[in-house]
Amino acid sequence: MPELEKADDAGAEADDAAPEATGPEPIHGHPVTEALGETTVHPPREALADLVRALRDEAWLMCLDVTAVDHLANAGGRVLPEGVTPERFEVVVMLINHRDPARLRIKVQVPEADPTVPTLFEVHPGTEALEREVFDMFGIAFEGHPDLTRILMPEDWDGHPLRKDYAVGRIPVQFKGDPGPR
Amino acid sequence: MTATDPHPTAPTLTAEGSQEMAPRDMAGGVEVLRELGSVLRLSEAEVAAMGDIEGDPDEATTTIMNMGPQHPSTHGVLRLMLELDGETVLRTKPVIGYLHTGMEKTGETLTYLQGPTNVTRMDYAAPLFNELAFSLTTEKLLGVEIPERATWIHMLLCELNRISSHLLFLGTNGMDLGAVSMMIYGWREREETLRVLEHITGLRMNHNFIRPGGVAADLPDGWREKVQALLDTIPDRLDEYEVLLTDQPIYRDRLQGVGVITTEEAIALGATGPILRSTGYAWDLRRSMPYLAYDQVDFDVIVGSYGDCFDRYSIRLAETRESLRIIEQILQQIPDGDYRVQDKKVTPPPRARIDESMEALIHHFKIFTEGFRVPAGEAYAAVESPRGELGMYIVSDGSAKPYRLHVRGPSFVNVQTLPHMMHNGLIADGVAVISSVDPIMGEVDR
């Protein structure tokens, strides 16, 4: 289980950093940030599926949302805990706890050179369409996803529309009997 | 796929091959296991362990057929690929995207003041919920607290909208199952509700009325009488629906025991709203994670017991009554005061001030051309829309436009329950199941 070992390593690093930082308690050894009353965990991407599985078995029963952010042009800066290297893409997972109503955000840094993330399909089958949407819009591949195809854009579409280097653009509309440009 | 294509940029207009359902003999062992797995929501290994599930039907007897995107019972442009054995549905795959207009991308080019105009068009049967979710998220980022009256106006509008959305469901659900007269009644009452909304907001749909910081205008003269008139008529009409549909043996036969889903399955699939509640699981954001002033009004969370289409129908009918109950309390408790936040940064100055003050004119101009800046950060806020949890996730980079606007549409996630609920049913039952999920394609495709 190489993935588990990596997760343990990351956990050990976070524990080392814990005494200096007076921030919130780490969750499963992964650093946590809090802002605007929302909690975010920052695991390394290899540990994502294991973390989500462990949280599901605690009380975070449902995965509400999987999405991504392309930080290519973000001038606002990001708040990341120590030891987490910012990368171009962030995959954002939203979990919900029904027992003690709360939401939890999980953020994974995904480098531009290797945009892959392990799938959550085995843990929460309901992420199937959401992961396909992220793949379609950002070109981030989910390893192990049973049917990773475009979901909203046509199959033969070029590019990934929600990336920041993809211009808004427009497609010329052809009207019947249009005399063409003057 | 495209890697082996010698002309990757050549348009192949009708090629949507890999989005479609592959035939059983072409799909090969692993693919069939995966597709069955995605129907049964099991992993490949679990499906393989089950052995020859469903007796592995003979390829010669199964047919793959398209239902939609232009089928009247698919509520817009939902396309389902069905693998049929006779009239029994073995596998289902929703193919969506026909209504995709890139609203999340568009949202990144619009200011926060223009944002509600864009998002209100997503779930077009419940536009005010989209505006509310967007405004709540923006207000969270801004750190502004909206006045109490604005909060109660939000609740009034949303409950009116919930009624109109559920009435639309009741009408179309009747129509899908052949009770065409129900369609006329459902749309008649919906139109009366929309008339009240039109009186308040100026538009029947796509109101753009709830904005960051409050609402666009105060409630107009005579709103109380109009809402009261609605409260007096709708309950009797709902009783008529009970006679027309609930007590009707044919209607019950078509819905009871059809499209059953359990709590575990609904949670695993991320289903929210009436689908989750129909399984007997009392999860309603208005009750469990109260927003606005829902903790100050009295209402019941309606749950079902069997998780079938009939439960989902009854839940929506009963929720309409609960919404009427909430509106009655709003009429009594709504406070006086400002209808939008008096924060000069967010709110444009009133029209009268513009005539007398140069600063107000400049300020007005700036807010509508440049917009207001929102502090950098990220926020997620969710509301209980008629279809489930509608969440908006906004990342701000400190400018006047969202850096990233993501919408967690309940219909988009709920559509994933279709393959499961239609499995091993008849095509005619499939129509009932699609109707009971009540997907709004504008929100599925965004």
Of the candidates A67, A125, A162, the beta carbon closest to that of B41 is on A125
Secondary structure string (H, E, C) spanning chain B:
CCCCCCCCCCCCCCCCHHHCCCCHHHHHHHHHHHHHHHHHCCCHHHHHHCCCHHHCCCHHHEEEEEECCCCHHHCCCCEEEEEEECCEEEEEEEECCCCCCCHHHHHCCCCCCCHHHHHCCCCCCCHHHHHHHHHHHHHHHHCCCCCHHHHHHHHHHHHHHHHHHHHHHHHHHHHHCCCHHHHHHHHHHHHHHHHHHHHHHCCCCCCCCEECCEECCCCCCCHHHHHHHHHHHHHHHHHHHHHHHHCCHHHHHHHCCCCCCCHHHHHHCCCCCHHHHCCCCCCCHHHHCCCCCHHHCCCCCCCCCCCCHHHHHHHHHHHHHHHHHHHHHHHHHCCCCCCECCCCCCCCCCHHHHHHCHHHHHHHHHHHHCCCCCCCEEEEEEEEECCEEEEEEEEECCCCCCCEEEEECHHHHHCCHHHHHHCCCEHHHHHHHHHHHCCCHHHHHC
Percent of chain A with pLDDT over 90: 23
Q: Check: pTM over 0.80? Answer yes or no.
A: yes
Most confident of A71-75, A101-105, B23-27: A101-105
Q: Which helix (H) or strand (E) holds A2?
A: helix A2-17
Of the candidates A64, A147, A154, the beta carbon closest to that of B270 is on A64
Q: Does A17 touch chain B (CB under 8 A)?
A: no
pLDDT at A24 over 80: no
For residue B397, the chain A residue with the least C-alpha distance is: A76
Q: Is A33 helix (H, G, I), strand (E, B) or coil?
A: strand
pLDDT at A10 over 50: no
Of the candidates B97, B288, B397, the beta carbon closest to that of A74 is on B397
What pLDDT score does B368 carry?
85
**What pLDDT band is residue A180 in, cutting at 50, 70 and 90?**
low
For residue A134, the chain B residue with the least C-alpha distance is: B406
Q: What is the pLDDT of residues A106-141, one digit of tens each?
A: 999 999 898 999 988 888 888 888 999 999 999 999
Contacts of B380 (CB under 8 A, 6+ apart): A38, A94, A103, A105, B137, B391, B392, B393, B394
Residue with tokens 């390593």: A9
Q: Does A24 touch chain B (CB under 8 A)?
A: no
What pLDDT score does A2 carry?
44
Q: What tens-digit pLDDT sequence spans chain B (446 residues)? A: 444 444 444 444 444 566 677 666 555 445 555 555 554 555 555 555 555 455 555 666 778 888 878 776 767 788 888 888 888 888 888 888 888 888 999 999 999 988 999 999 998 899 999 999 999 999 999 988 899 999 999 999 999 999 999 999 999 998 888 888 888 999 999 999 999 999 999 998 889 999 998 898 889 999 999 999 999 999 999 999 988 888 889 889 889 888 888 888 888 888 999 999 999 999 999 988 999 889 999 999 999 998 899 999 999 999 999 999 999 999 999 998 888 888 777 888 877 888 888 888 888 888 888 888 898 989 999 999 999 999 999 999 988 999 999 999 999 999 988 888 888 888 888 889 998 998 898 888 88
Strands A102-110 and A38-41: parallel
Q: Does B6 touch chain A (CB under 8 A)?
A: no
What pLDDT score does A181 carry?
66
Tokens of B73: 């019972």
What pLDDT score does A69 carry?
92
Strand partners, A68: A91
A 136-155: CB under 8 A from B: 137, 146-147, 149-155
| CB pairs A-B closer than 8 Å | 133
**What pLDDT band is residue A150 in, cutting at 50, 70 and 90?**
confident
A171 min Cα distance to partner chain B (Å): 12
DSSP per residue over A67-114, as a string? EEEE-TT--S-----TTPPP-SEEEEEEEEETTTTEEEEEEEEE-SSS
Contact between chains at A61 and B9 (C-beta distance less than 8 A): no
Q: Average pLDDT of A60-74? A: 89
Chain B residues in contact with A140 by the CB 8 A cut-off are none
**How many other β-carbons are positioned within 10 Å of the β-carbon of residue B411?**
27
Q: Which of B414, B420, B406, B416 is nearest to B385 (CA)?
A: B414
Q: Does residue B100 or residue A19 have the better pLDDT? A: B100
Asked whether this complex has an ipTM greater than 0.90, the answer is: no
